[in-house]
Structure 1
């Protein structure tokens, strides 16, 4: 049962990391709102790297953000968190391939495989947390600008890429938790498989009486022999 749980957690983590990679390069992190606009001639959409515009004919143009230092703080932090999530997810996949019980790497050492599986689970959880913070922080700023009546710029709505990011982050956290739970079962399996080289004592040799040491001629169990005859005169 533990192998099924561990394998399920590993594939959840892999799928979640793939979804986060798609999210990072998806252009639809936020889409311009049509609320209050009677005629919409163009649609704007952005992600962490660029801003794009499309018109009613389907032609669109994209431009990269001109300067990293000119970006807002939450946008820079979201970039760093998403990249960290992908790095954690990559190392989680590599550690998970070693720690899975169905793989041949370190097959004879269940404790080592359990440790690698736990490391993979922890890295997967870290990846999900980083991605969840990044996506949620970005969505918070979208909603804050949208409901601010004094905001002068273009108002945006949450794009489909954020929903994909939330799903990937959730899969990473769930998969990492399942992999961490498998460590205890692997350690118990390793302890059950230990054999102790115990040899029972030989009954024939244990039944043999111990040899008695011969007493010297001048010693005996009778205490009188220890004294000369003159001692009683």
Structure 2
């Protein structure tokens, strides 16, 4: 695969992953109330990082923002921080990738400089993908733990669509970052300069005395 094709594939995958990370962060469907033990299915609850909502079968939805940050559970606060960090790092990666693409003439035209910028952007995408992957997996683990440890009669929650969007975005960001890192090939080091060795001439130089002392010596 050519360098340009590898860069384009990596950038498109990383950018799509970045968009999915934004959708995941803003989604209010990280966990959904379970219907397995509920008799009344006309109303269900779903919750995200920023609000919890209630929906009815008639189509009405009511949402409420979390009123307190310190009152939230620790895993929600940690997930928020990781997702925001992932978005910031990935945004910097998008900007850096635009300057490092071979098909874009913005910035330096040196291939070595563009290659290093491409590697930098790929590394940023990988870091952002790992952050979002850790956040989504942490939240999912808490939902699963609470589902099996919930007291009888208490509402249980299952994994929502926002988590699957987050997983997909994380994988795409990491995969695109790997492509961008692999698109840079270091130039071969120039071989050390060869020193020319001039063999002594076979011809003997004839010594001619130039002064009286030299003539006397001869």
Between stretches 169-178 and 3-12, larger displacement belongs to: 3-12
- Which sections of structure 2, spanning at least 5 residues, go unmatched? 191-195, 197-203
C-alpha deviation, 1:103, in angstroms: 1.0
Going from structure 1 to structure 2, the CA distance change for 1:216 and 1:95 (only over 3 Å counts) comes to same
Q: Aligned equivalents of 2:21 and 2:73: distance in 1?
A: 22
C-alpha deviation, 1:165, in angstroms: 0.5
C-alpha deviation, 1:123, in angstroms: 0.4
Secondary structure of the structure 1 residue equivalent to 2:64: strand
Which runs of at least 4 in structure 1 moved beyond 4 Å after TM superposition? 209-214
Partner of 2:170: 169
Q: Aligned equivalents of 2:25 and 2:168: distance in 1?
A: 13
Going from structure 1 to structure 2, the CA distance change for 1:21 and 1:219 (only over 3 Å counts) comes to same
Q: How many residues align?
A: 207
2:77 paired with 1:97: no
* Aligned residues of 2:17 and 2:170 also touching (Cα < 8 A): yes
Secondary structure of the structure 2 residue equivalent to 1:43: strand
Secondary structure of the structure 2 residue equivalent to 1:147: helix
* Aligned residues of 1:145 and 1:151 also touching (Cα < 8 A): no
Q: TM (normalized to structure 1)? A: 0.81
Going from structure 1 to structure 2, the CA distance change for 1:216 and 1:114 (only over 3 Å counts) comes to same
C-alpha deviation, 1:87, in angstroms: 0.5
Partner of 1:145: 146
Secondary structure of the structure 2 residue equivalent to 1:37: coil
Q: TM (normalized to structure 2)? A: 0.87
C-alpha deviation, 1:214, in angstroms: 5.2
- Which sections of structure 1, spanning at least 5 residues, go unmatched? 195-199, 201-208, 228-233
Partner of 1:217: 212
Q: Aligned equivalents of 1:95 and 1:210: distance in 2?
A: 67
Indicate the RMSD between aligned Cα atoms, in angstroms.
2.6
